[in-house]
Structure 1
Amino acid sequence: MSPGWYKDPAEPTTQRYWDGDGWIGAPLPADATPPDGPPEVPPPPPPPTQPGPADPAGAPPVSPGGPVAAPGPGHPGQPTPNGHPGYGQQSYGQQSYGQPYPPVQTLPPRPAAPAIPAGVPLASPGLRLVARLIDIVAVLLLNAVVNGWFVYRYLQEILPFYREFNSRYADGEPVGELMRLAPSAEANRLQLVILIIACALWFAYEVPAVANTGQTLGKRIVGLRVVRVDGEEKLGFGRSLRRWNILGLPMLFWTCCVGFVWQVVDCFWLTVDRPLHQALHDKAARTVVVVANPRPPAGASPPQTPGGSS
């Protein structure tokens, strides 16, 4: 994710600055105009000076930048006549006795992948597309069982027309009159029935499973889970239905190709969306897809995913 101001996934009413590794600076209201660059980060306070317990009496205080000059040549800390540092004098490149070393600042570790506030890594676009392909195959198998007879009847209605069309086209005969006869009313009716049954099977396959566990068969095999952006454990039926409507209902418009094109754009939208890699149906339901059982880093306890493991 490129650096810039984005809405905070943990609190959508605010926006914060992402520097490429993590969120920095104080949050701003979501409708406020952010500055052109990153927010100003206050400098760390200077380390306090602490005199050592073994400092001799009368020794001059030592500042963070070096020793403080004392009034007189014989005072401790003043150079001796031979040019060498006197008692208590700090030479160049040495740390004064009792002076605390400045704290060592360490950079936070770079996260392996973008994560939602709960700390669970987001699913990669490649794994999401693989899970969707598995779900498509599963729904096609259901249609072969439930919708097979209607598909057979539909083919019986349209195959004679296409055989006649190919025969006339091969013989060089005109096909304009034949085009006005197709498709038949029965073929149109069967096509509508097939689409409605296929849509109902897809609904029964995906909506209850995502509402209860956040996983379809494809997501369970690949190891992904659908969760809410606000971190709640279960999506619920209403949110799952709203998520499926954007992707599933356009199937009824396959006859004019509009529905199929919309579904392709929806599924591949996650490859360009930032920062949560949401498809259009994710944005409608305010959901994200995460890794179901992420592998914790060495020495860390495994994060708890919403809804538990299954």
Structure 2
Amino acid sequence: MSTEQPENDPFRKRPQPDEPGSGGPPPGEQSPGEPPPERPPPPPPGGAGGPYASPQGAPPPGAPYSDSYGGAGADPLAGMPPLGSRGRRLLARIVDALIVGIPVGIVSGLVSGFDSYDDAGAQYWQGGFYTLVYFLYEGLMLTRSGQTVGKKLMKIRVAVLQNGAAPHGTPGWVRAAVYSIPALVPCLGFLFWLINVLYCTWDKPYHQCLHDKAAKTVVVVAD
């Protein structure tokens, strides 16, 4: 008796597409006319986390404090000398004010007479003369070496935040101008000066005054 089942037998087991002899494509190959499988999209540029993410958690190019002097990563003060203390900066300003103020006061007294101190207008012009002399004094000293006489005595210096160099040229003059020139404006000039010099007490991480921020400088301990 024959054991073969007819081709049209409904109970006959038919080979699966992935079994030998089934007539279907082998595993991993595409059948003719079948659309290609969808591939997952490529990862975003810069690794996981979006288009602005950087490998190993590094800050993207141009991020704040990403330069070699200002530091990179979690500590923006890495790679630079210690910051000059606020006490040293204050003492340096007092020394510089005396260096400029004493000769300016003597000259003003000789030119205008001692009774001019009772005249408000004369006091204003004397103050303006002192401001301009101090501006020239500080601008010339900073653009030359980053130090005034007071800063040399206190062993601190002004440095460009980007690379630590002395503020030659424009940065030194901008710093001196923002510190001195607003004082020529009656009332409001003194208010701006007060906010300016106090700003370093709460600024982080570089303890900058407004004249530092304008010139992109920082005060550090001198070598």
Partner of 1:292 in structure 2? 222
SS at match of 1:147: helix
Contact 2:117 2:123 in 1 (8 A): no
- 1:249 is the counterpart of 2:181: yes
Alpha-carbon distance between aligned partners in 2 of 1:192 and 1:277, rounded to the nearest angstrom? 32
Alpha-carbon distance between aligned partners in 1 of 2:108 and 2:78, rounded to the nearest angstrom? 40
SS at match of 1:226: strand
Contact 2:158 2:166 in 1 (8 A): no
Residue 237 of structure 1, CA deviation: 2.7
Counterparts in 2 of 1:116 and 1:220: CA distance versus 1, 3 Å: farther
Contact 1:129 1:267 in 2 (8 A): no
Give the alignment partner of residue 152 of structure 1, picking from 92, 114, 117.
Answer: 114
Give the alignment partner of residue 140 of structure 1, picking from 98, 101, 122.
Answer: 101
Partner of 2:201 in structure 1? 271
Say how many residue pairs are matched: 160
The residue type equivalent to 2:98 in the other structure is V
- 1:235 is the counterpart of 2:163: no
Larger RCO (CA within 8 A; separation ≥ 6): 2
Contact 1:151 1:194 in 2 (8 A): no
Counterparts in 2 of 1:245 and 1:202: CA distance versus 1, 3 Å: same
TM-score when normalising by structure 2: 0.63
Alpha-carbon distance between aligned partners in 2 of 1:203 and 1:29, rounded to the nearest angstrom? 37
TM-score when normalising by structure 1: 0.46
Counterparts in 2 of 1:221 and 1:286: CA distance versus 1, 3 Å: same
Alpha-carbon distance between aligned partners in 2 of 1:219 and 1:232, rounded to the nearest angstrom? 16
Partner of 1:27 in structure 2? 59
Counterparts in 2 of 1:128 and 1:116: CA distance versus 1, 3 Å: farther
Give the alignment partner of residue 121 of structure 1, picking from 79, 82, 87.
Answer: 82
> Counterparts in 2 of 1:178-257, with a 5 A limit?
188=121, 190-231=122-163, 233-253=165-185, 256-257=186-187
Contact 1:208 1:237 in 2 (8 A): no
Residue 142 of structure 1, CA deviation: 2.4
User: What is the aligned-residue RMSD (CA, Å)?
Assistant: 2.9
Contact 1:123 1:290 in 2 (8 A): yes
Residue 151 of structure 1, CA deviation: 6.5
Residue 192 of structure 1, CA deviation: 4.2
Contact 2:135 2:181 in 1 (8 A): no
Contact 2:95 2:149 in 1 (8 A): yes
Residue 153 of structure 1, CA deviation: 4.1
Alpha-carbon distance between aligned partners in 2 of 1:261 and 1:246, rounded to the nearest angstrom? 13
SS at match of 2:157: strand
Residue 259 of structure 1, CA deviation: 1.4
Alpha-carbon distance between aligned partners in 2 of 1:283 and 1:151, rounded to the nearest angstrom? 40
Name structure 2 gaps, 5 residues minimum.
1-51, 65-74
